[in-house]
Structure formats: structure tokens, C-alpha cells
């Protein structure tokens, strides 16, 4: 098989890139290790920046999103029984939308299928060859049969555990990582959201987040220990703990019900540099991970795709390779700012096991400053709605 851009990974990054390129007449093949149903069963991000929404529109996949998404003008931050709002609309005249990653992926799969886009599922043993040469190719097996795709470029969109990043030699690759001493236990339940906006809650029992997918689908998270397993937590224990971490007013209103999904995610900050090696480009979680506080994971993947898409289009349609040459530099400049914001929000709102009384006072002072200081609120709002591409 031969294609122009071989895309490793059929998550949101790979599908969005494939859809955008194909609409400009650039041929792609997507290689996905799992099945479509498996990819769609993963419950992940819920908040989209307008930059990501614009990219979905450009890809021609925003029809359902435009109809079904919920626009959020702001968010609530609580600490103990106190709470205050950060109104993005008033502060920076921008908003975010609620539309789950599952729906984004579903829409992208539908669009790829409608355009006869080539996606190969259940691939095993993907190897990228000659990424630093003029003739890269990718080999893989399906049901034990080996296949080869010759291509002009490879896009590594295969997430944190993929092979693309590992293809870059250690003499070239530099990695930066911070692990946090806690995880997030998340549940999805068919209950109305407790509040019309998200509530990010700092409490002495740890962090909690009240989020949603639609008017009868709620997503809640609580900070948990890294040694916890989802099975350790009954639904009743989860609800009880959540109630103890959010303001009383919200706890009294909370509608509980059976969980339809329950999982634990560890929290990590991670960046690999560079994001390009020869004809291989890394995008999304393959290159960087943020802790989820601040909802930047999927949105930062989208900004990578924006830079790579425009670089590819300029290369193929105008013979201008500057965008591709500067891809790593441009993507990383934005990635590091998203890393900073996610690290800051995580540090602000969680309880750390080794936190001293002084550290706690600093956290409280920072929250109090944010509550009353316009400039601090503007800085938070600018980052939350998404820095410009």
C-alpha cells in the first residue's frame, strides 16, 4: 500500500488529522491498534476550547456538535464551603463548550466512513522505518499477516503508550516528566448535573470536580490514592465522598444514581522534545500529557493537529515547507503553556500527602487572591478558554 501521510493511532488526534487532510486532497491511512467500539468506549475529556470547535468545523464534522453542545460562560471554584465564579465571557469575552471526547470521536469516525477514509483496525506490531530518510515506510500485522505502507510522512498520533515517540532515538529525544502523588476516580451517571457550570472543588479531604455531558449525564471526579482500584469504591462510597468535598448547597442538591462507568486515571505532566524527527511528526498524547485539571489534554492535541495540518497543506498545495520545518517549535511553545496552566490548577486545588502547614497557607492565599484579583482571573480565563494558536 502507498499513501502520502501514514497516521498511527485512530484516537481524536489521528482521526481529526486524517479528516482535515483528506478534505484537501491529501491521502492518508490510519492504523489503529484497537477496534472502533473499544476507542468509543473510553470516557475521557468533556470540555472543548473554541479553537478545537473551529477545527471540527473546518473538518466538516461540527454539525451535531453545534446542535448538541452546551456553551459554558464560566466555571465555579469552591474551597470548603466558600465558592466564587470565574466568568470567561465577562473576563475575556470567550467561552468553552461541553461536548464529550466520545462524541467527537464518533463524529470523526462517521465522517471518515462517509468519505471512504482508510482506517485499519486491530493492527499489531507497528514499526516505523526510515523516518529520517526520504522514503519512510510502516510495517504492521493484522491477524498474523504482515503489511507494509510506503509513505511521504508519518504522523505519530498513538497516545502516550504508542510506538511513535519511541522511534525517535534517545540521542535526539529529551523527556520531561512530573508524576503527582494521587489519581482521579471518575464516574459517569445518568443523572442531571448538580450545577449548570462545572465546579472545581478544593476541600480538606481532597479535590473534586462536578462536570457533565448533557442534561441527564453527569461526570464526577474525586482525587484518590494511587493505590486505589475502581472496584474498591462502591457507588454509595463515591457519592458520600463527593458530597463531603463540595459546598453544602451543592451536596444537598446532588442527584445520585448508579454509575455507568468508573475508572481511575493517574496524574502526570510529560513533554517530549522535539516533536518532529525527519519525516515523523508527533501529535497529542504521543508527545505530551497534562494532569486533567483544566481540561487541556484533548485541546492541546487539537492545537498540534492545527499546526501540522496547516504545515502539510502549505507543503502539498503551495510547495512551502516552512510550516512543517517549524512544527515542533510552534507546537511546543503552546504545549508548554498548557503544561504550566494544568500544573498550576492541579497544584492549586489538590491536597498533597507531604504538604506542610506553610504549603497549605500558600494554596489558601492563592485561592483568595484569585477570588478577588481581576488580573489573576483574566489570566486564568485566558488559559482556560485556550491560548491562541
> Which residue shows C-alpha cell 494544568?
342
Question: Does position 273 bind ligand FAD by CB under 6 A?
Answer: no
Question: In whole angstroms, what is the distance from residue 290 CA to residue 64 CA?
Answer: 28
Burial tier of 64 (Cβ tally within 10 Å: 0-12, 13-18, 19+): middle
Pick from 295, 331, 332, 385: which binds ligand FAD (CB under 6 A)?
Answer: 295
Q: What angle do CA 173, 179, 183 make, to 5 degrees?
A: 135
Between the alpha carbon of residue 236 and those of residues 152, 232, 265, the distances in Å are: 54, 11, 20
363 contact choice in ligand FAD, ligand DHB, none (CB below 5 to 8 Å, kind-dependent): none
Q: CA torsion angle for 48, 223, 183, 189 (degrees, to 10)?
A: -60
Rounded to whole angstroms, the Cα distance separating 38 from 318 reads 38
CB of 134 to ligand FAD, least distance (A): 24
| DSSP assigned state of 119 | E
Indicate which of ligand FAD, ligand DHB, none lies near residue 96 (CB less than 5 to 8 Å, by partner kind): none
31 binds ligand FAD per the rule CB under 6 A: yes
Q: How far apart are CA 313 and CA 142, in angstroms?
A: 31
The window from 58-66, 86-94, 151-159, 274-282 that contacts ligand FAD (CB under 6 A) reads 151-159
Q: Tell whether residue 291 is a contact of ligand FAD (CB under 6 A).
A: no
Query: Distance between CA 179 and CA 269 in Å, rounded?
Result: 6
Kindly report the number of other CB atoms within 10 A of residue 188's CB atom: 21
Contact residue for ligand FAD among 33, 72, 245, 350 (CB under 6 A): 33
Q: How many residues touch ligand FAD (CB under 6 A)?
A: 32
The catalytic site residues sit at 72, 200, 292, 296, 384
386 binds ligand FAD, rule: CB under 6 A: no
Per DSSP, which regions of 157-275 are E strands? 174-189, 199-202, 208-214, 217-224, 259-273
Taking CB under 6 A as the criterion, the residue among 5, 7, 8, 349 binding ligand FAD is 8
Task: Report 177-236 residues binding ligand FAD (CB under 6 A).
Answer: none
294/386 with CB nearer ligand DHB: 294
Task: Please answer whether residues 22 and 2 qualify as being in contact, where contact means their C-beta atoms are separated by less than 8 angstroms.
Answer: no
Give residues in contact with ligand DHB (CB under 6 A). Answer: 45-47, 198, 209, 211, 219, 292-295
* Contact call for residue 345 and ligand FAD (CB under 6 A): no
Residue 265 within binding range of ligand FAD, rule CB under 6 A: yes
Q: Which of 11, 100, 247, 311 binds ligand FAD (CB under 6 A)?
A: 11
H or E segment and range at residue 120? strand 118-120
- Check residue 163 for interaction with ligand FAD (CB under 6 A): yes
* Crossing angle (nearest 10°) for helices 297-318 and 327-349: 170
Task: Name, in order, each residue with C-beta under 8 angstroms of 310's C-beta and a sequence gap of 6 or more.
Answer: 323
Residue 293 site contact among ligand DHB, ligand FAD, none (CB < 5 to 8 Å, cut-off depends on kind): ligand DHB
Q: Which does 39 bind (CB under 5 to 8 A by kind): ligand FAD, ligand DHB, none?
A: ligand FAD
Q: Considering beta carbons, is residue 101 or 377 the nearer one to ligand DHB?
A: 101
Cell of 373: 484579583
Least separation in angstroms between residue 25's CB and ligand DHB is 35
Q: How far is the CB of 265 from ligand FAD (least distance, A)?
A: 4
C-alpha to C-alpha distance for 83 and 26, rounded to whole angstroms: 50
Q: Which residues bind ligand FAD (CB under 6 A)?
A: 8-14, 31-34, 39, 44-45, 101, 123, 126, 157-159, 161-163, 265, 284-285, 292, 295-298, 301
Amino acid at each position: 500500500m502507498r499513501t502520502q501521510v501514514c497516521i498511527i493511532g485512530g484516537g481524536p488526534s489521528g482521526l481529526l488529522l486524517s479528516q482535515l487532510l483528506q478534505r484537501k486532497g491529501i491521502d492518508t491511512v490510519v492504523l489503529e491498534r484497537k477496534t472502533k467500539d473499544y476507542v468509543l468506549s473510553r470516557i475521557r475529556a468533556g470540555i472543548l476550547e473554541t479553537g478545537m470547535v473551529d477545527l471540527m468545523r473546518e473538518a466538516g464534522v461540527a454539525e451535531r456538535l453545534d446542535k448538541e453542545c452546551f456553551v459554558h460562560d464560566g466555571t465555579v471554584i469552591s474551597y470548603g464551603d466558600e465558592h466564587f465564579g470565574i466568568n470567561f465571557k465577562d473576563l475575556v469575552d470567550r467561552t468553552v463548550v461541553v461536548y464529550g471526547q466520545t462524541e467527537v470521536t464518533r463524529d470523526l469516525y462517521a465522517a471518515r466512513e462517509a468519505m471512504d477514509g482508510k482506517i485499519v483496525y486491530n493492527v499489531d506490531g507497528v514499526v516505523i522505518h526510515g523516518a529520517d530518510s526520504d522514503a519512510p515506510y510502516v510495517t504492521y500485522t493484522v491477524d498474523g499477516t504482515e503489511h507494509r505502507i510506503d509513505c511521504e510522512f508519518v504522523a505519530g498520533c498513538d497516545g502516550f503508550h504508542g510506538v511513535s515517540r519511541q522511534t525517535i532515538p534517545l540521542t535526539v529525544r529529551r523527556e520531561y516528566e512530573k508524576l503527582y502523588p494521587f489519581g482521579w476516580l471518575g464516574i459517569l451517571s445518568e443523572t442531571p448535573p448538580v450545577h449548570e457550570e462545572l465546579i472545581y472543588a478544593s476541600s480538606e479531604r481532597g479535590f473534586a470536580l462536578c462536570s457533565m455531558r448533557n442534561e441527564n449525564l453527569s461526570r464526577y471526579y474525586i482525587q484518590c490514592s494511587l493505590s486505589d482500584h475502581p472496584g474498591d469504591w462502591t457507588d454509595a462510597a463515591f457519592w458520600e465522598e463527593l458530597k463531603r468535598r463540595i459546598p453544602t448547597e451543592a451536596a444537598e442538591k446532588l442527584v445520585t444514581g448508579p454509575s455507568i462507568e468508573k475508572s481511575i486515571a493517574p496524574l502526570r505532566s510529560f513533554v517530549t522534545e522535539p516533536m518532529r524527527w525527519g519525516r515523523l511528526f508527533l501529535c497529542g498524547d504521543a508527545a505530551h500529557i497534562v494532569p486533567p485539571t483544566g481540561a487541556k489534554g484533548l485541546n492541546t492535541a487539537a492545537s498540534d493537529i492545527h499546526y501540522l495540518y496547516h504545515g502539510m497543506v502549505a507543503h502539498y498545495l503551495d510547495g512551502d515547507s516552512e510550516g512543517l520545518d517549524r512544527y515542533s517549535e510552534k507546537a511546543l511553545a503552546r504545549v508548554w503553556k498548557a503544561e504550566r496552566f494544568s500544573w498550576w490548577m492541579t497544584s492549586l486545588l489538590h491536597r498533597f500527602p507531604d504538604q506542610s502547614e506553610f504549603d497549605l497557607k500558600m494554596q489558601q492565599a492563592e485561592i483568595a487572591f484569585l477570588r478577588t484579583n481581576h488580573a489573576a482571573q483574566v489570566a486564568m480565563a485566558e488559559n482556560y478558554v485556550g491560548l491562541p494558536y
